[in-house]
Amino acid sequence: MFKQIAVVSGKGGTGKTTVTAALTHLFKNNIPVDCDVDASNLFLLFNPKTEKQYDYYGGKKAYIDINKCSSCGLCAEICRFDAVNINSGEYSVDSYSCEGCGYCVIRCPEKAIELSESRSGEYYISYKEGRFIHGELEPGEETSGGLIAAIRKKAIESADKTDYIIIDGSPGIGCPATSSITGVSYVLIVSEPTLSGFHDLIRIMETTEQFRRKYSVVINKYDINTEITEKIEKYCSDKNIKITGKIPFDKTVMKAVQESNSIINYNSPASEAIKKLYKNITEEIK
């Protein structure tokens, strides 16, 4: 049976994708899964060849038939998502705000409103040395959690002879982040020693605990502020949470990203630290 490892961060830009990419090079026999559907950067690093594409229909949206609409305004009044617009007397649904609940459909006295399926993204199985799975949300759509669930299901279906599924999660603490960690065997939180990084780390730790996942923390660029690094270490040790790695600031990381390559393929301090991190995680998930 395979294990699922999710890499998340709370704050964006802490090095989540760099760490994920490196781990997929170090763990044998894994499927990398890019769940950051707003910003699918792991895919850019891998640049695999697409084998199969699937459309994702995340939900429904309401549409008003203006030929039937009597402009009574009831829909705008009752909608709890402020999704009905009035433009020079004409009513229409703002599809960005509509959550597809159908309340207006039920209430419209003229039966002028319908719900219809809306395509809100796509997901792919690609290939490069092994399988790679990722998705892209249509800009502005709301159902990223559902798309992430669809991507992870596809990964599990493809994982019959796989030992690990390694997930590059979404930033934040909302539904994209929690959809990335729900049900996984292990969560790795990537943090950085800045005041905002520390603040965001505390929120993602609480979120991970609410989902009752086993997890540890890695401090990236730990040497840019050793004082905050010590604070993070103390905070984690008070809560009995392991720091499984400390990665130094290393310009080679930026170079690797610009060359669309993994940091593991360079001889550098960050690369060495990530190899240590990998060893520690394998101990943790035994």
Kindly list the residues in this chain that would bind another protein in the complex (CB under 8 A).
9-14, 17, 38-41, 44, 59-60, 78, 80-82, 96-97, 99-103, 106-107, 115, 137, 139-142, 144-145, 170-178, 193-197, 199-200, 203, 206-207, 210, 224-225, 228, 254, 257-258, 260
Q: How far is the CB of 96 from another protein (least distance, A)?
A: 5
What are the counts of helices (DSSP H) followed by strands (DSSP E) for the chain?
10, 11
Q: How far is the CB of 123 from another protein (least distance, A)?
A: 15
Residue 203 or 242: which CB sits closer to another protein? 203
Rounded Cα distance, 195 and 201, in Å: 10
Q: SS3 of 236, please? A: helix
Burial class for 70, CB neighbours closer than 10 Å (0-12, 13-18, 19+): exposed
With a CB cutoff of 8 Å and minimum separation 6, the contacts of 73 are 86, 91
H-assigned helices in 47-194: 74-78, 103-107, 144-157, 175-181
Q: How far is the CB of 69 from another protein (least distance, A)?
A: 20
Q: SS3 of 153, please? A: helix
Residue 183 or 279: which CB sits closer to another protein? 183
Q: How far is the CB of 163 from another protein (least distance, A)?
A: 28
Q: SS3 of 263, please? A: helix
Q: How far is the CB of 161 from another protein (least distance, A)?
A: 31
Q: How far is the CB of 67 from another protein (least distance, A)?
A: 25
Residue 144 or 216: which CB sits closer to another protein? 144
Name the one residue in this structure whose structure tokens are 């006295």.
Answer: 109
77: tokens are: 């009044």
Residue 59 or 130: which CB sits closer to another protein? 59
Residue 25 or 60: which CB sits closer to another protein? 60
50: tokens are: 């697409």
Give the number of other Cβ atoms within 10 Å of residue 39's Cβ: 16
Rounded Cα distance, 62 and 31, in Å: 38
- Angle of helix 16-26 relative to helix 251-258, nearest 10 degrees? 80
Rounded Cα distance, 180 and 205, in Å: 14
Residues paired with 57 in a beta bridge: 119
Residue 222 or 278: which CB sits closer to another protein? 222
Q: How far is the CB of 286 from another protein (least distance, A)?
A: 30
Q: How far is the CB of 159 from another protein (least distance, A)?
A: 26
Residue 194 or 280: which CB sits closer to another protein? 194
